[in-house]
Every structure is written in structure tokens, then in C-alpha cells.
Chains A and B, each alone.
Chain A
Amino acid sequence: MSLDSRRYADVTVVAPSGRIDHEAAGPLERAIAPLLAPAASPAALVLDFGRVDYISSVGLRVLMIAAKSMRARKARIGVAALTPTVAEIFTISRFDAVVEVYAGVREALAAMSPSALAALAADPARGGP
């Protein structure tokens, strides 16, 4: 599993890839931990799951930890661009009620932060100018 992280204004977008299973959950938890620290303090955290093809219960636990941490300081957390299998796992596990689910990163930022959406639009890596 690899992990990309980008900051768009007051929102951090994290994009893991591959399978988030027993082996990958630990590295994901360690990679996200600094983003949850008070010093990082994004107004929102978005996990771009467009390149994640499976997540196990242990992976979902990492998401639960992140959700609790973000909510504790009244910050938002969402997931975006779920693949069909991962979307189904979110429904089955009822995690679609734990975090906000968006069709894509753009939709997530539009809902969470206009300035982050503007930053995304200006990002050449995301097809901006």
C-alpha cells in the first residue's frame, strides 16, 4: 500500500492505494497519525479511496480512530471516490454512517471548504491551470 497526501487550503486529502488489510492497516494508521495531531489541524480530512480495492475490518478500525480524533476537535472527515467493492463494504459494515461519503474528491471539497475547492482547481496535478 502506498499513500499520497496533499493539502488544499484547510483540507488534507490522503490517497492510499491497494488493499487495506491486516498488513496495510498498521502503516496506514501510522501515516495518518501526524495528520490527526493538533499541530496539523486541518479543518477536514478527506480520504481519496479511488485506488483502494479492498478494506478489511482492521482497515475500517483505522478510519474509526481518525473519525473520533477529527470529531473530538470538531473537524470533518470524509471518504471519496469509493470503488464499487469498497462502497459495498462501507454499507455492509455501516461505516457509511460513520464518515461522510462523497462521489469524488471534488464533491468532498465542495461540501467542506470553498477555499480548498479553489485550491484543488488550481492544482496542475489535478487538472487545474
Chain B
Amino acid sequence: MKAVRFWGTRGSLPVALTAADVRAKIVAALRGTAGRSLESDADIDRYVDDLPFDITGTFGGHSPCVEIVNGTGEYVLCDLGSGVRPFGQAALARHGPVPQTYHVFMSHVHWDHIMGLPFFTPAYIPGNRVFVYGGHPDLEAALRRQMDVPSFPVDFSYLRADIRFVRLEPGVPFEAAGMTVHTKLQRHAGDSYGYRFERDGKSIVYSTDSEHKLADPEEARSFAAFFRDADVVVFDAMYSLADAISVKADWGHSSNITGVELCQAAGAKHLCLFHHEPANDDAAIAAMLADARRYEQITRTGRSLAISAAWDGLEIAL
């Protein structure tokens, strides 16, 4: 296991910065220049590098698509959100026409997690192999249906790669792309599945679109076991705790606070907040990250837990 690379991190719906958002970032950056010497390029670079990420960058962007870089030479993805389009372009730029193998693990088939497939260019190219894994019996039907007329002009049959669907069973370890993969059923409308990828003594957990009922200690124990000692846990932290258990209860998502508590119980090393709420701007996501880090400090009893908020382009090295 080498790294986790994020191509799409936004939940429910892709979002883009507006002109007003960009202007606000420029204004915020310029406001901090008062009294500073910015005469050389090096001065400017230093100044920009010291600015917070929510001013200099953006969390993005695309809906969920996460790459597990495992060092085998085969590609491993979680979900086919809109982030799979730039992933596919990057893979083509790297390999040209040389056929590749792609392993795709689907959390579920809600729109935001499948919408990128029609724009995943490698799937159209003969010679490529695409294995699509998931726990849903209607996984293949859902992917085909979104490309039916009138929803999309190019039928699924035009995908000329060798595409195969593999049904996974929760609790039954599975070998793929040189890894052992554990599948866990999660609480979400229509069900979702979390995945734990293990190789060479390293482990990465992808657990999104998963609601946690705080009153159920057995559920908490089972997720702590699923996250046990993981190097990275990619976690659905769409809402604040207050929202997750009140106005947005039963919406199938979780909070930054629950992520911290489960990862602490599991002894995980790195929590990555994921599936950002589309209504949250960069400042709001940065605040949720700061809150999670502070909560971890307050509640820490042993080893510290690293916490980050995923953004399109982030790579977490193991």
C-alpha cells in the first residue's frame, strides 16, 4: 500500500467555485499583504504558502472517487463519481493506448457515486479490463440504466473495455489486485458497503454514506473493529454532530465528531473527513476540520490521531 489519492470528495452533488467565491479568496489574500514586502517571486511564494488552504485552494469539487495506490501496477478505485473523469484522463495521459486493469469498489449506486462512468474514457477502449465490485444485486443494472435513452446519448454497450461485475458478501474476505478486501454493510438508504483494503501490513478503510446510530453500542464496536489500527480511514463526515442526529437523522450520513470517536476507539492512525456537504463552502469545511482536530485533542487518551479533510487532488502517503 502506497497512498490514498482523492479525485472526488464532495457528497451528493458536484460543486464548483463561483466567480464570487474566487473573488472572495483573492480579497482575503490581498487583505493580508498590508505592510508586507512582496517584491520578489520568492516573497510572493512564501506569503501564499503561509495562507490557509481554504483561501489558496478549494476542497472541490467532484463527487466521490478515491484511488487506492497499492503498488501492484493495477488501478484500484472506490466509487465512480464525477471524479473518475479526471482520473481516467490522467491514466490515459500516463499509459497512452497500453491496456490497463481497473478494480472499482462501489459503496452503493446512488447517483453521486455512479455519475462519472459515462465519462470514464478507459471504459470505452478495447483491451482495458474493468472489474466492478459491490454488494448490491442491482449494481450492473444501475450502471447500465443511467446510460439509457433519454438519460444519456451513449448506451452502455458502447463501453468496449472488458467490464465484469463481481458481487461481494459482507464478512467474507476477498482477494483482488494483490489485496485482501473486507466488505461491511452500512446504514444508508438502500444500503451501502464499506471496504477495508489490506496489503503488506498496511490497511486503508473506505467508509462513506454510512450513518452511525449512537445509541447502539454493538454497532459502534463493529465499526471500531472494522477500522482497527487502519493507516487511513476515509470517513463520511458530511454534517455536524448536532445536524446528524437531529434535522438530518436518517439521511444516511455521519459527522466529524463520530469519525474521531470511532477512529480513537479503533486505534486508527489517520482520519480523513470525506463526502463534504455541497452547501458547505471552503471556510465551512476548514472549520469542520479544525473542530475535529480540537475534539481529538480534548478526548485523546493515547496516541494522537492525524486528521485531514479530503480535497480533489489530495494524496495521503502511507
- Specify which of A54, A85, A88, A93 is in contact with B240 (CB 8 Å cutoff): A93
Tell me if B214 and A61 are in contact (CB < 8 A). Answer: yes
The minimal Cβ–Cβ distance linking A58 to chain B, given in whole angstroms, is 5
Known: A88-B298, A92-B295. A58 touches B215 (CB 8 A): yes
> How many angstroms between the C-alpha atoms of A98 and B255 in the bound complex?
16
Tell me if B298 and A64 are in contact (CB < 8 A). Answer: no
> How many angstroms between the C-alpha atoms of A93 and B259 in the bound complex?
12
Indicate with 1 or 0, residue by residue over A63-94, a CB within 8 angstroms of chain B CB atoms: 01000100000000000000001001101111
Within 8 A of A (CB), among B181-237: 214-215, 217, 220
The minimal Cβ–Cβ distance linking A19 to chain B, given in whole angstroms, is 11
Tell me if B294 and A94 are in contact (CB < 8 A). Answer: no
The minimal Cβ–Cβ distance linking A95 to chain B, given in whole angstroms, is 5
Tell me if B245 and A64 are in contact (CB < 8 A). Answer: yes
Q: For chain B, which range describes its interface: under 10, 10 to 19, 20 to 34, or 35 or more residues?
A: 20 to 34
Instruction: Say yes or no: is B257 at the interface (Cβ < 8 Å to chain A).
Output: yes
Known: A57-B258, A64-B242. A92 touches B294 (CB 8 A): yes
Most buried by B among A54, A85, A98: A98
Known: A58-B214, A61-B214, A61-B215. A94 touches B298 (CB 8 A): no
Within 8 A of A (CB), among B271-295: 291-292, 294-295
Instruction: Say yes or no: is B151 at the interface (Cβ < 8 Å to chain A).
Output: no
The minimal Cβ–Cβ distance linking B213 to chain A, given in whole angstroms, is 9
Residues of A within 8 A of B245 (CB): 57, 60-61, 64
Known: A22-B217, A57-B257, A93-B240. A98 touches B246 (CB 8 A): yes
Instruction: Say yes or no: is A113 at the interface (Cβ < 8 Å to chain B).
Output: no
List the A residue with the shortest CB-CB distance to B288. A92
The minimal Cβ–Cβ distance linking A54 to chain B, given in whole angstroms, is 8
Residues of A within 8 A of B214 (CB): 57-58, 61
B residues near A, CB below 8 A?
214-215, 217, 220, 240-243, 245-246, 255, 257-258, 261, 291-292, 294-295, 298-299
A residues near B, CB below 8 A?
22, 54, 56-58, 60-61, 64, 68, 85, 88-89, 91-95, 97-98
Instruction: Show 10 residue pairs from A and B whose CB-CB distance is below 8 angstroms, ordered by the A residue.
Output: A22-B220, A54-B299, A57-B214, A58-B214, A58-B215, A60-B241, A64-B242, A64-B246, A94-B242, A97-B242
